[in-house]
Amino acid sequence: MGKQYETVIGLEVHVELATRTKIFCGCSTAFGGAPNTHTCPVCMGMPGSLPVLNRKVLEYAVLVGLASNCEITRYCKFDRKNYFYPDNPQNYQISQLYLPVCQNGYVEIETEDGSKRVGIHEIHMEEDAGKLIHDTWEDCTLIDYNRSGVPLIEIVSEPDMRNAQEVIAYLEKLRLLISYLGASDCKLQEGSMRADVNLSVREAGTQKLGTRTEMKNLNSFKAITRAIEGEQQRQIDLLEAGEPIVQETRRWDDANDCSYAMRFKEDAQDYRYFPDPDLPPVRISEEWLERMRAALPEFRREKMERFRREYGLPDYDLQIITQSAHLADLFEETTALCKEPKKVSNWLMGEMLRLLREREKDPADIIISPAHLAALILMKDKGEINGAAAKEVFEAMFDEDVDPHSYVEEKGMKVEADTDALREVLGQVVAAHPKSVADYRNGKEKAIGFLVGQTMKVMKGKADPGAVKEMLRELLQKES
């Protein structure tokens, strides 16, 4: 029997903060501007320009630190990380090495094996780089500095994770905390959350850590899981074959489901870190920190408890609705308007989740406004539209947040409730299907379903099946 191995994993997670302006200048952080339009002398690295810290970045970093049980460094500094690359206009990145803003924290994660603590070594603030665009047609490289200076925090975990499930649970936990704080939307696909995986294997039962590799370019939970499984196997195979593991940075190739070496430790650059003389040290007062503590929002566990208490929702609903702060807020604001918590919850758990999956979107992307969702629920309650129509309206709201009233009006989807037209159709249907009528009267309850279906068909769906059924019952009773 072969040896037993244990995998040891630590994560470096970069999170783009949701500030309106950049970390060291007043330029917009908005996505999608024409190249180099969200720039100024500071984020373009022009001679003589100077960085000034955006206070909101410090606030978010401290909030994330408090939410993950970190010690807040009362006297923290920024350092320059020097390296030449054109995406970095100054050829140094302003980051924190010696005195990061948060240290020694942890988060609790839940997996099938129960709950566990994952330690946070530190959280530091830094700036993002610009984007290089390689134009193969013209054979040149262009640079867009719109992203240069966008604020990031890097969350460095302790090597406390042992498998992909724990890693995913850890990332989910971070995403939950950070999105509840409103500090970031944490989207892996769009790069507002990026995870680098440090992984080593060692013989089970031993204490000494094996040689680790760092895996980059992981853009989804699936890629992370595949990369971890692949890398631990690669390292075990090397050890089994008696070959050494090389400390290196590897790049995950999602298309080919494999990784390759990017750079070796021997090539590691000397970043010549030193304190940035342009930015005075940040002193954090107890008073300010108290204000930050008071500003911490209600997190998931507390929110679940409160929703259970105030709205009487079952556990299953609570689990789903509180998975994102945005979803939970939508629930609460809609309920406040329509006073129908369970119905709101049903829409969010049913159609909302279905569409999110179908459109491959994140709860943070939901654009439906509470007012529109509440209006839709009330319209359906009053029987102004039927279930099928409501779903169609919901989908339009999901895509464009349409006003359900005007949408229904425009599309002519309103139910013909108890009108002469409907009565006439009912009369026709009853006349045309004497056998079914007879069956119903002879106690075959099912036969009425057929008659409802026929009526809906003639009405082209613009009727409420429940109401039609009631009207048919009434009609057949009268005539008998």
Partner 1 sequence: MKLTDMTAVELGTAIRERHVTAMEAVEAVFAVIQEREAQLHCFVTLDREGALRRAQEVQKQIEAGKLNGPLAGVPAGIKDNLCTRGMRTTCASRILENFVPSYTAQSVARLEQAGAVLIGKTNMDEFAMGSTTETSAWGPTKNPRNPAHVPGGSSGGSAAAVAAGECFMALGSDTGGSVRQPASFCGVVGMKPTYGTVSRYGLIAYGSSLDQVGPLCRDVRDCAALLEVIASHDPKDSTTVLRRDTDFTAALQDDVEGMRIGIPRDYFAEGLAADVRERVLAAAQVLRERGAVVEEFDLSLVEYAVPAYYTIAAAEASSNLERFDGIKYGYRARDCQDLHQMYKKTRSEGFGEEVKRRIMLGSFVLSSGYYDAYYLKALRVKALIRQAFDAAFADYDVILGPVAPTTAPLLGESLQDPLKMYLGDIYTIAVNLAGLPAISLPCGTDRHGLPVGLQLIGNRFEEKKLLRSAFAYEKAAGGFRNCREVD
The yes or no reply on residue 142 touching partner 1 (CB under 8 A) is: no
Query: For partner 1, which stretch binds (CB under 8 A), given 50-58, 291-299, 303-311, 316-324?
Result: 50-58
Residue 271 CB, shortest distance to partner 1, in Å, is: 8
**Nearest residue (CB) to partner 1, 263 versus 272:** 272
The yes or no reply on residue 138 touching partner 1 (CB under 8 A) is: no
Return the residue of 30, 37, 41, 261 that touches partner 1, per CB under 8 A: 41
Residue 116 CB, shortest distance to partner 1, in Å, is: 35
Contact 361, 367 (CB under 8 A): no
The yes or no reply on residue 45 touching partner 1 (CB under 8 A) is: yes
Return the residue of 8, 143, 284, 337 that touches partner 1, per CB under 8 A: 143
Residues 6+ apart with CB under 8 A from 472: 426, 430, 448, 451, 452, 455
Q: Residue 239 CB: number of other CB atoms within 10 A?
A: 18
Which parts of 251-290 interact with partner 1 (CB under 8 A)?
270, 272-274, 277-280
Report the alpha-carbon distance of residue 367 to residue 263 in Å, rounded.
Answer: 42
The length of the chain, given as a count of residues: 480
**Nearest residue (CB) to partner 1, 279 versus 364:** 279
The yes or no reply on residue 50 touching partner 1 (CB under 8 A) is: yes
Beta strand pairing call for 79-82 and 92-95 = antiparallel
Backbone angles phi, psi at 80, to 5 degrees: -100, 130
Query: For partner 1, which stretch binds (CB under 8 A), given 51-59, 187-195, 204-212, 376-384?
Result: 51-59
Name the nearest CA neighbour of 212 among 145, 168, 161: 161
Query: For partner 1, which stretch binds (CB under 8 A), given 63-71, 76-84, 340-348, 383-391?
Result: 76-84
Residue type, 94: I
Return the residue of 8, 12, 28, 53 that touches partner 1, per CB under 8 A: 53
**Nearest residue (CB) to partner 1, 86 versus 453:** 86
The yes or no reply on residue 217 touching partner 1 (CB under 8 A) is: no
Is 267 exposed, middle or buried, given 0-12, 13-18 or 19+ CB atoms closer than 10 A?
exposed
Instruction: Write the DSSP string, 148-204.
Output: TT-EEEEEEE-S-B-SHHHHHHHHHHHHHHHHHHTS----TTTTSEEEEEEEEEEET
The yes or no reply on residue 370 touching partner 1 (CB under 8 A) is: no
Binding positions for partner 1, rule: CB under 8 A: 41, 44-53, 80, 82, 84, 86, 89-92, 143, 270, 272-274, 277-280
